Structure 1
């Protein structure tokens, strides 16, 4: 018997699949985490995946080559702009991709949407996803969880990834998880390695619990909060990009000496 199976008679209040967002900086292992979720649940759930990259479909190709799902169930969105724009400011492309995927493979249980690699403040709009995972990895440094931000602090789940690398990068995983738990005021944290069966089981159980709550109508999508203003350099000096609620304006810096905030 699989652990934490979904109740066969669980009441269903929505026919739409659960949309689960996965965000985090470049290189933390978002695609690998999604592959792990697919391997752990593909025999129990009908799953689709949407990846986001600025100019390529590289993450989608990685997942297809990994053989975790039928290739047609993995779709790519090329955002052509800041990765967070397509998951927070204008989610149209991802919404359309999610709806097309759900229609083509109905009935789906779960659609996982991977953000392009972004900074520590990247969050999904609740208009796009029902729940979201924010991913860090030990190679980014043991202190990164203490730095906070809406993704670290208020995503539905924080994953400290690649824990098997900790001895090689001098990181105390227990301390990093404790720091993360403190930053999140007790919200869920999982220390994950794809080679550690117990951590994979914990991730699998979390996804199933959220799915069960979503199907019963008990889960309510939360907004971790807007991204902090941040700077994008370009040949004209750069753009100070704000994602405050109700304010999607871009203010252009006059100088070349503006630093990232």
Structure 2
């Protein structure tokens, strides 16, 4: 049975979403030509600053790009509500997915709810430039299905200690961009940013890592520039 066209019983219609292990996306150059939105997943542990980063990106990117957001929470719409309260995008550009399960399930294993949310945004808003898909807070093993996103950002924070990058895990080692967030807290928690930089490079090879403090840089400039390079 083909993974992209399967049924669960004799009376059910075919499920047309791609299998989580199948990457249906064209190369990004072709995506730009076809005007399909670049889909960027943003994951990381609870409290690492994912939603604050999404808010910053929405503020800066929406000045000249068509942006939409899908948030994932287990039992609430808290992250979407935060974005709405802060007015970073009009309400019609934000969708909330309540996963009801471990966050990585909805971004990696059964991605249908997130795909439905993206399709609803595209149908209602027309062509988009960027869709940000924020995962619920998870651990260092969290990764996105290639059937859902084109590129992945993984966010860790300095408050977790300078040992986090060397612990590795798929989120740290394979994300297209690693963001080491809340650098302004380093002196308060005794974290050595030089150690984090060294260990991230050792774990990630040529994949980029950026250091960020939204207190000092509320525009998230290095992340914003990376996203713009994809669009």
Instruction: Calculate the TM-score normalised by the size of structure 2.
Output: 0.84
Residue 87 of structure 2: aligned partner: 67
Provide the C-alpha distance between the structure 2 equivalents of 1:104 and 1:39, rounded to a whole number of angstroms.
21
5+ residue gaps, structure 2, are 1-29
- Compared with structure 1, are the counterparts of its residues 89 and 63 closer, same or farther at alpha carbon in structure 2 (3 Å cutoff)? same
Residue 176 of structure 1: aligned partner: 196
Provide the C-alpha distance between the structure 1 equivalents of 2:51 and 2:186, rounded to a whole number of angstroms.
20
1:186-218 CA distances to partner (integer Å, 9 max, x unpaired)?
21101011133398221111001122xxxxxxx
Listed as ranges, the matches of 1:152-231 within 5 Å are 152-197=172-217, 200-211=220-231
Provide the secondary structure at the position in 2 that maps to 1:196.
coil
Listed as ranges, the matches of 1:102-181 within 5 Å are 102-181=122-201
Kindly report the root-mean-square deviation, in angstroms, between the aligned alpha carbons of the 2 structures. 1.7
Instruction: Calculate the TM-score normalised by the size of structure 1.
Output: 0.74
Whose RCO is larger (CA < 8 A, sep 6+)? 2
Higher helix share: 2
Provide the secondary structure at the position in 2 that maps to 1:197.
coil
For the pair 1:52 / 2:88, whether they are aligned, the reply is no
For the pair 1:78 / 2:98, whether they are aligned, the reply is yes
Runs of 4+ in 1 over 6 A off after TM superposition: none
5+ residue gaps, structure 1, are 1-9, 212-261
- Compared with structure 1, are the counterparts of its residues 11 and 71 closer, same or farther at alpha carbon in structure 2 (3 Å cutoff)? closer
- Compared with structure 1, are the counterparts of its residues 187 and 119 closer, same or farther at alpha carbon in structure 2 (3 Å cutoff)? same
Provide the C-alpha distance between the structure 1 equivalents of 2:31 and 2:89, rounded to a whole number of angstroms.
27
